[in-house]
Structure 1
Amino acid sequence: MKLKWGLSFLFFIIGLSFLTFSCYQNRVYDWDMPGYLGSVYSWEFPDDAKKVQEKVYSDIEKEASKAEFNDILHYNHANEVFYADYKAFGEQLPYYKIKIGFNAAVYALYKLGFTGPHSVLLVNIFSYFICGLLMFYVLRLLFPQNYFIAPLLSLFVFWFPPVRDMAQNPTPDMFVFVFLMLFIISLLQKKSELLQFIFLLCCVLIRPDYVLFAMSYLFVVFVFQYFKENKQINYSLILQGFSIAVIYIAIIKYYNYPGWKDLFYDSFFYRRPVISAEKAEFTFQKYFDFLLFKLINFKRITLASVILVASTFYFSKDWWIRILSLLFFINIYIKFVFFPDSANLRFFLGFVLLLFIVFLYALSKKYNGFQLRKNA
């Protein structure tokens, strides 16, 4: 058995290494990179905003192709202003500075000797490889007698273009997926609440908008335990929720984050070259019309998610597993309501993959009788 699993892992690690190297070769220098790089350089030069802005663009120009660099500069009028005016560039940095977990990882690689642009991209390349290992680990747990499912299904998931896109682009989404994977593993194996809280907190530190997921999960666990187990209040969950909320508010306040309305306006209506020059004003009707339009183009995620939830309900009678499936499904649409970028799957793919893992868990318990302990 050990020999077969050893050969299985060898096959998998060769395939994953190839995919990881392919992601590295096809890494993307896009218009998000200056924001993250500026956030990191502002730690290095806290009192020299002009130097930060100049170093950001000069370092990217050295590594990016001419076409990529031109795209960064001329993606829209605002990007042209950011390149020409260091004050305008500095005003949009809070959108990126609040992702302190991602920036800290970038800064660590930068201090180890990698260039700034490379540091931003390598966080995701390394995260891609780690997530692949975690997926193999999960599938080996779920299908311990099948030496083919774990490597083949893991490689298929990480070959999937949207997953590779997360690794190739300078955004925190691949990095946060590491901790989502650790969270779901700890959940299915019924590890301690403290460990699960740590993984949730890491998600919030990497992308503060994951506070909605963290709080919704803690609320669901609180209600489930109260009604299904002992009718007693779990004060530990209340403390966890309060701690995450305080940390989230502290991050937002410390970095002078403009707020959701500003982010929505700048992302979907008009990217303001100088944030302080005009207010982010739009009506609820305009927001609702935009949301409805984007929802129509959200078919792929909706179809995949509905199939996974329905399949989980079909294969599992365990109410906790069903609730988990619904929780991840609902969080897809919570995120969509606040940031309906239906064309960009990276914002929602993490939850879809969590749904996929819960479905595989339900399938495994029905047909393999695997020894993962029930969470409830």
Structure 2
Amino acid sequence: MRKKLFSALMSASIVAAMMSGCGLNAPAQTEGGQGATQEVKEGAEVADVSKEKSDYEVNEAAAADPAVTLTMAEVNPLEGTICGAMDMKFKEAVEAMSGGSITIDLQGSGVLGVEADILDGMLGGTGTVDICRISAFGLSSYGCDKATLLSLPYTFQDRDHFWTFANSELAQDFLNQSSELGLGVKGLYYGEEGFRHFFTAPDKAVSSPEDMQNMKIRVSNDPVMTAMVESLGATPSPVSMSEIYQSLQNGTIDGAEQPTVNYASNSFDEVGPNLTMDGHTLGAMMTIITEKSWGELTENQQQVIMDAGKIASDYCREVSEQKENEVLEQLKADGRNIIEVEDKTQWQEACKPIVEQYATGELADIYQQILDMAK
């Protein structure tokens, strides 16, 4: 498989940490843990996350608290992914601001399991994982119905729309729902890895929903995503993440969908060179901690976690857009067919029944609040 080099630089300290943790070419879980392993391109690095520790304000009270180590799981590699960069920033900020009283043992590349297994363990109280970065709607199958609204197609107009939500009191209500339901985990902060787009085989370019009729499109095993593909006239195909490349190559599927950075880092552009920029769903993420681990922290340490989460979330906003723009330029330079979708009306109309199905009752009012945040 051809390897492309992206230009962003990684600091020596971060590279060294990742090499010692899970290897530069460790297998990726590039779909929030729902898929199998996939190799990440060499050099597919995200912007430098290092920062002088003196630049952080140390919480002196937290620094005097008993030392604690929190195990943090990430299903993606720490290198070359937006979520990995956000995790590393969180780890860096927590350890610096706590004066060393909190250590984040960050384990990437899915070494602690896929998202579903990690969530089951955290909710079941196994104690293996204290903190995890998951898809923002990962807890919807555990009763957090508000999270489902974030996966509905064409909800967010652009990144600013999402971040207006993510920094609102309404978003905090979403983060709090798992605690309110007694699931045993607490939401900390949001992130995102860009909008998800369809990509298709060389002879299957898509510029409108009509072009998707009868196509076999791979999506994750999620009812909303499955319904979306069906609404657009295509047939959902149950192919694992690790099989997308080969399935596109041999014609088992006609296309799939991923955020732009994942699309490029997994070399999907080699077998699916048509990238239709429809932006059907934002790759929203959230970080959670078990209530047990949270309760064992002092109030000062809890404050450090919250402050560091805000820093990591803000950093993700910066890195995500920067990295996506770099990747898009590289894809264009490589001759990939980037199909801009200027008017999404047809796409939105086709998927309207999905919104009507899930945004009902009280959720309809909440969903409208999200829509109203668009500028």
Which structure has more helix as a fraction of its residues?
A: 1
Asked which structure has the greater CA Rg, the reply is 1
TM beyond 0.5: no
Q: Which has the higher strand share?
A: 2
TM-score interval, normalised by the smaller of the two chains: under 0.3
Return the TM-score normalized by structure 1: 0.26
What TM-score comes out, normalization by structure 2 length?
0.26
